[in-house]
């Protein structure tokens, strides 16, 4: 299995009063433009996906929809509560194993620091590996047998700028 982890693109800032629902924040126009260009970079790399799973947060879903459109993902985007900013990595891995185990190329669209912790867990068996995923950054993991803990090889971690330059 090849697992791609994609952080959502640039979103509007949180409401300074603290009243705004964080899950409802949208991508900025700049974030949408840059994500479209990054998705074109994914195409230029020859990447293709069987499935895109997205956090239910609006900015992640918008990011996933852009990738699905540009990369012509046949099944579109599915929502996974396990990818929410406060989601459970063990639940995400169980969902992948039991619901999507037949898929070979899956994109998970979510948030920081959740995605870095998930990458760290799959690569090292611990969530302590210091990784930083920029907004719109993409990571590729190769996995022989998916399980919670050390099971993956980090193939690459690209910044959004690197993806856009490939387009």
CATH topology of domain 2-166: Rossmann fold (3.40.50)
∠ Cα 22 156 135 (to 5°):
20
According to DSSP, the residues that pair with 158 across neighbouring strands are 138
Note the pLDDT of residue 17.
40
What pTM, to 2 d.p., does this model score? 0.95
The residue ranges of every structural domain in the chain are 2-166
Please answer whether residues 44 and 166 qualify as being in contact, where contact means their C-beta atoms are separated by less than 8 angstroms: yes
Compute the distance between CA of residue 164 and CA of residue 167 in angstroms, rounded to an integer: 5
Mean pLDDT, the chain, rounded, equals 94
User: Which secondary structure element, helix H or strand E, spans residue 117, and what is its range?
Assistant: helix 114-124
Note the pLDDT of residue 75.
86
């Amino acid at each position: 299995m090849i697992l791609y982890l994609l952080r959502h693109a640039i979103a509007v800032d949180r409401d300074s009063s603290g009243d705004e629902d964080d899950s409802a924040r949208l991508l900025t126009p700049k974030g949408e433009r840059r994500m479209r260009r990054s998705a074109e970079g994914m195409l230029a790399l020859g990447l293709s996906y069987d499935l895109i799973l997205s956090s239910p947060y609006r900015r992640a879903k918008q990011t996933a929809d852009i990738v699905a459109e540009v990369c012509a993902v046949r099944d579109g985007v599915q929502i996974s509560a396990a990818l929410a900013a406060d989601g459970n990595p063990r639940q995400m891995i169980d969902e992948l194993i039991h619901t999507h185990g037949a898929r070979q190329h899956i994109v998970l669209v979510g948030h920081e620091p959740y995605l870095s912790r998930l990458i760290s867990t799959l690569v090292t068996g611990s969530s302590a590996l210091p990784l930083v995923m920029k907004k719109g950054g993409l990571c590729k993991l190769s996995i022989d047998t998916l399980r919670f803990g050390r099971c993956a090889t980090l193939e690459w971690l690209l910044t959004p700028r690197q993806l856009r330059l490939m387009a």
